[in-house]
Structure 1
Amino acid sequence: MGQDVTIPARHGKATRLAAGQRLRVINTHGDQVVDTWAFAQHDLREFMSMEHTRATLLKMIPQVGDHLYTNRRRPILTLLEDSSPGIHDTVIAACDDYRYGLLGCTEYHDNCTDNLAAALFELGLTPPETPSPLNLWMNIPWTKEGGLSFEEPVSKPGDHVLFEAKLDCIVAFSACPQDILPINGVGHAPTEAHFRVEG
């Protein structure tokens, strides 16, 4: 059993996984969205793709037992457990400084795009691009007319998901810094989360 690693509030962290290892992501205080990416270790240009995953699963949100697929249509992670209500997002792009500009920020704002780059930099790596993440615990309801809304999360402290790596990969996280829209709950205050490599 590995030790818990902190994903600091408003920042990112990454880890290497060998095929067959398991990774538990913990919503430590509840309500925190954790943007999640996975890249094949042999070639970072192959990465977990929400577009390819939705097309393969024919669903908007992965459920326990589902694989998450790369842009080369190979399974990279499998969702083994989910103690939360299972509300995650596969549609919304990672926030960036441009997004916060559109939301009225006039100065630099911490963001998930930069957090991904910083997390991989700690491992001596540079992402080839910023893929759309799996936004764990992000509540984005949609209507049959195609409308979307940003709603408060429905996760609680200690909720977790457990993944198994299907490829040797690098998994990166951002404890999303969004504090303008209500995706991180009442008060919009981002908090830390944790992960643990198992096996």
Structure 2
Amino acid sequence: MTDPVTIPARRGKATRVAKGQTIKVINTHGEQVVDTWAFNVDDLTEFMSMEHSRAHILKVIPVVGDTMLTNRRRPILTFLEDTAGGVHDTLMAACDKHRYKFLGVEGYHDNCEDNLHAGMREIGLNAPETPSPLNLFMNIPVQPDRTISFEAPVSTPGSYVLLRAEMDLVIAFSACPQDILPINGKAGQPTEAHFVVAP
């Protein structure tokens, strides 16, 4: 395995991954949500789609063995292992400047949308849009009365998700900077996370 790559706290990171390689996403400190996107490296207008994936796996939360699909209904990432409690989110859009304004923030606040685009630019690419992300480790329970809430992650320090690339792709991450709601733990202190790409 290669050395772990840091996804800095409140920032984004992206990398190219070949078909068949695995990506281990590590919740280093245990309570950090990692927004995750995947794009077809040959055509960035094809990307992992939560809407298409939910219709395919017939679940709100993917589990080991499930394959996420693109907006063209092709396999892109498969869950191979999950030691993080199996709680992730496919419902919430990436946080952005508009979200923080709605939450009462004045001025600029780091956000996952900007982190996606900054991470892609760092490797010389431009994402054509901001797809709805796979929010690894994010805890958004759906109640019997159909309401949802923002809760702290159930993941523990060092827990991880292992994914397999089903096509040549670009994967992008944001160590979510949310520090108003408890999605990164009740302390509201975003931290770095890590990932490892292996053959």
Q: TM-score, normalised by structure 1?
A: 0.99
SS of the aligned residue for 1:13 comes to strand
Map residues 188-199 of structure 1 onto 2, 5 A cutoff. Answer: 188-199=188-199
Counterpart residue identity of residue 130, structure 1: T
Runs of 4+, deviation exceeding 6 Å: none
Which residue of the partner structure matches residue 176 of structure 2?
A: 176
Structure 2 distance, partners of 1:126, 1:16, is: 13
Structure 1 distance, partners of 2:58, 2:197, is: 29
Map residues 50-129 of structure 1 onto 2, 5 A cutoff. Answer: 50-129=50-129
**1:63-94 CA-partner distances (Å, limit 9, x unpaired):** 00110100000000111000111000000000
Counterpart residue identity of residue 125, structure 2: L
Which residue of the partner structure matches residue 148 of structure 2?
A: 148
Structure 2 distance, partners of 1:143, 1:28, is: 29
**1:96-120 CA-partner distances (Å, limit 9, x unpaired):** 0110000000110000000000000
| CA deviation after TM superposition for structure 1 residue 122, in Å | 0.6
State the superposition RMSD in angstroms. Answer: 0.6
1:13 equivalenced with 2:13 (yes/no): yes
Gaps of 5+ in 2: none
Structure 1 distance, partners of 2:113, 2:16, is: 19
Counterpart residue identity of residue 158, structure 1: G
Counterpart residue identity of residue 20, structure 1: G
Counterpart residue identity of residue 37, structure 1: W
Give percent identity, aligned residues only. Answer: 65
SS of the aligned residue for 1:135 comes to strand
Structure 1 distance, partners of 2:40, 2:125, is: 12
SS of the aligned residue for 1:60 comes to coil
Map residues 127-142 of structure 1 onto 2, 5 A cutoff. Answer: 127-142=127-142
SS of the aligned residue for 2:118 comes to helix
**1:126-177 CA-partner distances (Å, limit 9, x unpaired):** 1111000000010001123321100111111001010110000000000000
Structure 1 distance, partners of 2:38, 2:73, is: 13
Structure 1 distance, partners of 2:114, 2:141, is: 26
| CA deviation after TM superposition for structure 1 residue 38, in Å | 0.1
Which residue of the partner structure matches residue 48 of structure 1?
A: 48
1:158 equivalenced with 2:138 (yes/no): no
SS of the aligned residue for 1:117 comes to helix
SS of the aligned residue for 2:138 comes to coil
Structure 2 distance, partners of 1:48, 1:159, is: 23
